[in-house]
């Protein structure tokens, strides 16, 4: 399987990575301007590592599965929504819809469902990977684990919401049982994660 990235796609992925990292930093450090620069820089670094990995692998999962089904697939950023994400974070509201992987080619309802499902499932797997750091490590590694766990649980649940262009809509159209099996535990874990971060 040959996975390639165009220059446009790499630029869009980079822009979305930066914007989401800044948005998460702002919403976690509320009001962020009240914190010392050193704290802001540290939180931004944490966001780049955790949000960056969560976002990039989520989108890469969509792309890989689409290509596996014989499609042409590329990520495109939604710069309007990236602006909304940053502005919304300043008032304590986070809407993380940075763009999407668009794919061309004929496909079945099942294939579209599996392509959509790949992103949230990847976030759940990443949450499990970050969990040991969150509960067993201290210091900076513990902070990475804690934020990585929470961010991935949030992104999995958010993307499984059956609304508009979010992944949950496509998954539910394909299979309601699969949708329920993934969405219900993801939503419960995301609520726990938001409480853990003090954002709920």
The pLDDT tens digits for 153-174 are 989 999 999 988 889 999 999 9
**pLDDT one-digit tens code per residue, 85-137:** 999 988 888 777 888 899 888 889 999 999 999 999 999 999 999 999 888 87
Q: Cα 43–48–54 angle (5° rounding)?
A: 120
- DSSP 3-state of 53: helix
- Cβ-in-10-Å burial (0-12, 13-18, 19+) of 40 comes to middle
Q: Cα 174–177–182 angle (5° rounding)?
A: 95
Which two tokens mark 185?
Answer: 């535990």
Q: How many whole angstroms separate alpha carbon 178 and alpha carbon 127? A: 20
- DSSP 3-state of 165: coil
Q: Is 59 a catalytic residue?
A: yes
Sign of CA dihedral 98, 144, 46, 194: positive
* CA distance readout (Å), 111 to 55, 67, 172: 22, 11, 13
Catalytic residue among 9, 59, 74, 173: 59
Beta strands in the chain (DSSP E): 72-77, 99-104
**pLDDT one-digit tens code per residue, 25-55:** 898 887 877 888 988 898 899 999 898 899 9
Taking the domains of the chain in order of start, what are their residue ranges?
7-197
């Amino acid at each position: 399987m040959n996975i390639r990235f165009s220059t446009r796609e790499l630029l869009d992925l980079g822009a979305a990575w930066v914007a989401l990292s800044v948005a998460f930093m702002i919403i976690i450090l509320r009001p962020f301007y009240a914190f010392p620069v050193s704290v802001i820089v540290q939180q931004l670094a944490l966001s780049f590592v955790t949000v960056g990995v969560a976002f990039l692998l989520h989108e890469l999962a969509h792309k890989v599965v689409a290509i596996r089904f014989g499609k042409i697939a590329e990520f495109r950023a939604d710069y309007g929504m990236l602006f909304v994400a940053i502005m919304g974070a300043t008032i304590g509201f986070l809407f993380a819809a940075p763009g999407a992987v668009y794919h061309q080619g004929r496909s079945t309802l099942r294939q579209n469902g599996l392509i959509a499902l790949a992103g949230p499932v990847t976030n759940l797997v990443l949450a499990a990977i970050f969990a040991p750091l969150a509960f067993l490590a201290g210091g900076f590694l513990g902070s990475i684990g804690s934020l990585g766990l929470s961010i991935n649980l949030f992104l999995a649940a958010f993307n499984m919401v059956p609304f508009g262009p979010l992944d949950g809509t496509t998954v539910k159209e394909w299979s309601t049982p699969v949708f329920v099996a993934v969405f219900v535990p993801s939503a419960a874990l995301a609520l726990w994660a938001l409480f853990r971060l003090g954002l709920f």
